[in-house]
Each structure stands twice: as structure tokens, then as C-alpha cells.
Amino acid sequence: MLPLSQVDPLTQKKLDRASAEIAIPPLLGASVAELTAWVQQQGQPAYRGKQLHEWIYQKGVRSLADISVFSKQWRAEVAEIPIGRSNLHYRSVAPDGTVKYLLQLADGQIVESVGIPAFGGKEHPKSRLTVCVSTQVGCPMACDFCATGKGGYKRNLGRHEIVDQVLTVQEDFQQRVSNVVFMGMGEPLLNVDNVLEAIRSLNQDVGIGQRSLTVSTVGIRNRIRQLAQARMQITLAVSLHAPNQTLREQLIPSAHSYPIEDLLAECREYVEMTGRRVTFEYILLAGVNDLPKHALELAQHLRGFQSHVNLIPYNPIQEADYKRPNRDRIASFVNVLKQQQIAVSVRYSRGLEADAACGQLRAGVGKE
Ligand code: SAH
């Protein structure tokens, strides 16, 4: 069964009205209401909208010319109108089952997505399939430890280009996608309008529960508030990476114009407005930000904050000199946080062998 939409009816009506007004191709990412408005604009009966929706999201059709329930004449007329699916450019499978995809967009640009399967286990008895999606071609944030940032920035992705990544992985695995993390190339909150539209579509058109969608951001002033105002039950993950402003600025240049106190205050607002706890991502770089004193300083910021710390041991990239801390270092960082009553987990990246782990999404084929 598909999870039901978790948007309240009033917001839903507004969303439907707003989206029905901009019914323009590419069609992928559009709601039933938008598609219905569009088919009517084309002189077709309203029920064709629902059919189109089913063919796009359930059957994965790539060309309007292939929709056999439409009349031959109309199919010929609209054959050139893009649905908005990308082409598979490259695919590689890591021994742990993680699959990395390079997708070629209509203008020739390449983006990367990762499919991460997880089988059973106590915590998640049903098998899960998580997709890590990109939101931009490249990234302008230039974080010092991140491969994407080293390659510069090209453009934002459209909503269809984000939804397409999820459908591509779903079709390849022949399994429903259960979770989506916005942790691929790019900074989602610099592309917040398209990201919000993609989230709406992933939830209502593709059928993924809002709580299973996670947006990861380095933090852009006022944009976390904008996310909260969208009143969705998605998970917010904030790439904090340092317990103080000086260190954070060294790692994340954009932090310069957004002091850590302001960022944390906006995160607190997010918790108040949504009732959802925030995840703080914290990359562990040996000797840089992984000492017990850093853990203690981090704990001081987060005491009483409805949050959770996700530690990410650094994945080495060619362009940077950082080192991944050893297990003992990681364990003592965890222990300090636990002693300070801070909820903490460690994320060991999957897909290292497919160059598909965090920060590695620029490696290999497609590199420019
Ligand atoms: N721009 C967003 C999302 C993309 S990166 C953000 O910054 O949150 C997703 C996560 O991977 C971020 O927490 C990022 O800091 C982390 N990451 C980037 N490069 C990494 C690397 N080399 N090793 C480990 N984590 C990395």
C-alpha cells in the first residue's frame, strides 16, 4: 500500500490550486491536478489527466507517444512534448549492493544518484531502498572536504530532474523506494522551490511517506524557516561539522556570513514550528574537529535541544588532505556525547567501492 498523504486538506487545496496554474512541460513532477489542467488545455477530457499520471509515475513511460490509451492522433500531436526523464549514462555496483548512477539531463549535464538497499535487521524488518538524490549540477558551497564542492557549480535541477532520479533507481531495483535523502550533489536550500515541489511529488505522486524524506543542508539563512513553513513532516539534517564559528568557517566558507548561533536559533525555530527533531551531521576529521574538547563544546550547544547527532567519519577524497579518525577516536567522541546525554549515532558510508559515498560523488566517469 502507498502511504497516504500527510499534508492537511487546506494546504493540499492550496498546493493543488497553485500547481494547477503552472501546468507546463516537462510533465514529470506535476500533480494529478496539474496534469488534468494540462490535458484540458490540450482539448482533452479531464480523465486523461489521471491516466497520464498513472503512466508517468507507475508505468514509468518515457514518451507521450507510447501511452497506448491515448488516441493515435493526439499521441502524434504531443509526441515531442518532454515528460522529463533522463538517460542512464553510467551505472556501477559496489560489493555491498550500493549502486551509483550517472544520469544525463536534457542539456547534456550529468548528475549522480545512489541507490542504497538495506535488508531486514531488527530495526527495520522490512527491506528498505534509500535513494540519495542530487539537487544541483555541482555545488557553489565549496566545503573543504567535499568532492562536489571542488568541481564548481553549474545550475539548479528542475523538480522533474529530482523526481526522475528516484524513479530511475526504483525501476532499476524493481523495488519501491522507501526513503529519499537529499544528500547528493548540491545544496538543496539554494534550490528550495524546486526541492519543495519535488518533495510534494515524491510524497503524493510516487507515494513515499514524508517522514521518509530527509533534506540535508549546510544552512542558508531564512531557508530553514521556509522549509518549516511548508508544514511537511520531512526530516531536516543540518551539516554542522564544527562546534564553534572559527572552526566551522575553516571547513565551510559559507558559514562566514551565517554565524553558528544564528543557524542554531533557526534550527530551534524549526523544531518549535514542526515538532520534529533536527539531525546534526558532524563529519569527523582526524585532529581537526574530533577531539573530546570538540565533543564537549558540541554538547554544550545541543543540551536540551530536540536533536540527534549523526557522526560521519570522513571519506577521503583526492583533493583534500584530511584523514579519517581511527575507531578509538570515534568511540571516545561518541562517549563524551553520550555522557552529556546527547543522542548520537555513527554513519559508516555505504558504497565506498562504487565511489558513491558522501563527498565522493564527483569521482570517476563524468568528471569534468
Ligand atoms: N549540501 C548538503 C547536502 C550534500 S552533502 C549538505 O551540506 O548537507 C551530504 C553530507 O555529506 C553532508 O553532511 C556533507 O557534509 C557530507 N560530506 C561531504 N563530503 C564528505 C566526505 N568527504 N566525507 C564524509 N562526509 C562528507
Please tell me if the CB atom of residue 317 comes closer than 6 angstroms to any atom of ligand 1. yes
Q: Please give the chain's pLDDT, 368 residues, in tens.
A: 333 344 455 555 544 444 444 446 799 999 999 999 999 999 999 999 999 999 999 999 999 999 999 999 999 999 999 999 999 999 999 998 999 999 999 999 999 999 999 976 666 567 899 999 999 999 999 999 999 999 899 999 999 999 999 999 999 999 999 999 999 999 999 999 999 999 999 999 999 999 999 999 999 999 999 999 999 999 999 999 999 999 999 999 999 999 999 999 999 999 999 999 999 999 999 999 999 999 999 999 999 899 999 999 999 999 999 999 999 999 999 999 999 999 999 998 777 766 766 666 665 544 33
The residue whose CA is least distant from atom 2 of ligand 1 is 217
Helix ranges restricted to H, the chain? 9-21, 32-41, 47-57, 72-78, 147-150, 159-173, 192-201, 223-229, 245-251, 260-274, 292-302, 327-339
Pocket test for ligand 1, best of 281, 282, 321, 322 (most atoms within 8 A of CB): 281
The residue whose CA is least distant from atom 20 of ligand 1 is 359
> Do 87-354 and 4-78 have the same topology in CATH?
no
Asked whether the beta carbons of 340 and 299 are under 8 A apart, the reply is yes
Cell 546525554 locates to 341
Pocket test for ligand 1, best of 216, 238, 315 (most atoms within 8 A of CB): 216
CA distances, 153 to each of 99, 150, 160, 198 (Å): 24, 9, 19, 21
The residue whose CA is least distant from atom 12 of ligand 1 is 239
The string of DSSP codes covering 178-234 is -EEEE-SSS-GGGGHHHHHHHHHHIIIII---GGGEEEEES--TTHHHHHHHTT--P
Please tell me if the CB atom of residue 178 comes closer than 6 angstroms to any atom of ligand 1. no
CATH 3.20.20.70 fits domain 87-354: yes
CA of 309 to the centre of ligand 1 (A): 14
Where are the chain's structural domains? 4-78, 87-354
Please tell me if the CB atom of residue 145 comes closer than 6 angstroms to any atom of ligand 1. yes
358 is an active site residue: yes
Please tell me if the CB atom of residue 283 comes closer than 6 angstroms to any atom of ligand 1. yes
CATH 3.30.950.10 fits domain 4-78: no
Please tell me if the CB atom of residue 284 comes closer than 6 angstroms to any atom of ligand 1. no
> 259-268 burial by CB neighbour count: b if 16+ within 10 A, else e?
ebeebbebbe
**Strand 307-313 relative to strand 278-284: parallel, antiparallel, unpaired?**
parallel
